[in-house]
């Protein structure tokens, strides 16, 4: 019921002027978030938030803190376990360095590409009211979308950086986009709308943030995440 209530607030369209500009003029700060669990202990995790400049993609802010995770893992409801501590990370930034608040967040996970159309990127976007984009490295099997031979053929057909094809569910709804983000990697990304951004803009921005396969706001979270988890 809570997911359904929050889902009603998701905005699947561009709401900011910079989103409507082909070169994202006006976009200066892009954030990335992730949660990494301590090996062998699912009750402890490192909640990470980084903010990068755009288009230079240089680190402006970083926060990686060990937190207690109390909610149990339930498939399809991961956001209830992870989003509260990510919201706290965003709130700390807003209080300590408000001038560095990101204009958009890239989330290591899914948005509308979710069994109930309300993944972590949607959940975090609604609670923070920030534009959010889901960026997943693996395909979540939703609404008849599966990694079958046809899907693998479509992935192999992505020859150049920036090439895409849509993920269309049995319902006929476009759930996300498969993106070849870098010419040196044949493994795609699965991009989906989180909140206050259109799918087309989400794909363009993810690609613009990729120096390698994974976009920098998420890639930069990962080494910091590992250091925090080890400390």
168: CATH = 3.30.2170.10
Residue 222 pLDDT greater than 80, yes or no: no
Q: Token digits for 187? A: 């493994």
Whether residue 85 lies inside any domain: the answer is yes
Q: Token digits for 24? A: 């994202």
DSSP helix/strand/coil, 70: coil
Whether residue 23 lies inside any domain: the answer is yes
Domain extent at residue 74: 1-220
* Residue whose entry in the numeric block shows the structure tokens 């949660």: 35
Whether residue 230 lies inside any domain: the answer is no
Whether residue 108 lies inside any domain: the answer is yes
Q: What are phi and psi of 146, to 5 degrees?
A: -135, 160
Encode pLDDT of 47-95 as tens digits.
899 999 999 999 999 999 888 877 666 665 566 678 898 999 999 999 9
**In the chain, % of residues over pLDDT 70:** 91
Contact 49, 97 (CB under 8 A): no
In the chain, how many domains are there?
A: 1
Whole-structure pTM value? 0.91
Distance from C-alpha of 198 to C-alpha of 21, rounded to nearest angstrom: 13
């Amino acid at each position: 019921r809570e997911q359904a209530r929050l889902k009603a607030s998701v905005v699947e369209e561009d709401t900011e002027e910079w989103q409507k500009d082909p070169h994202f003029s006006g976009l200066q700060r892009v954030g990335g978030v992730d949660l990494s669990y301590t090996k062998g202990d699912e009750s402890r995790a490192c909640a990470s938030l980084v903010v990068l400049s755009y288009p230079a993609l240089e680190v402006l802010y970083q926060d990686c803190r060990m937190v207690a995770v109390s909610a149990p893992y339930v498939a399809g409801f991961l956001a209830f376990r992870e989003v509260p501590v990510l919201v706290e990370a965003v709130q700390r930034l807003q209080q300590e360095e408000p001038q560095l608040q990101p204009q958009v967040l890239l989330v290591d996970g899914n948005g509308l590409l979710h069994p109930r159309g309300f993944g972590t990127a949607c959940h975090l976007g609604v609670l923070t009211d920030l534009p959010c984009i889901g960026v997943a490295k693996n395909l979540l099997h939703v609404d008849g979308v599966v990694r079958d031979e046809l899907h693998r053929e479509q992935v192999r057909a992505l020859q150049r950086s920036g090439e895409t094809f849509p993920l269309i569910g049995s319902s006929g709804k476009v759930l996300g986009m498969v993106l070849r983000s870098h010419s040196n990697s044949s493994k795609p990304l699965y991009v989906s709308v989180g909140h206050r951004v259109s799918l087309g803009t989400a794909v363009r921005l993810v690609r613009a943030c990729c120096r390698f396969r994974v976009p920098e706001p998420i890639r930069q979270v990962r080494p910091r995440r590992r250091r925090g988890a080890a400390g």
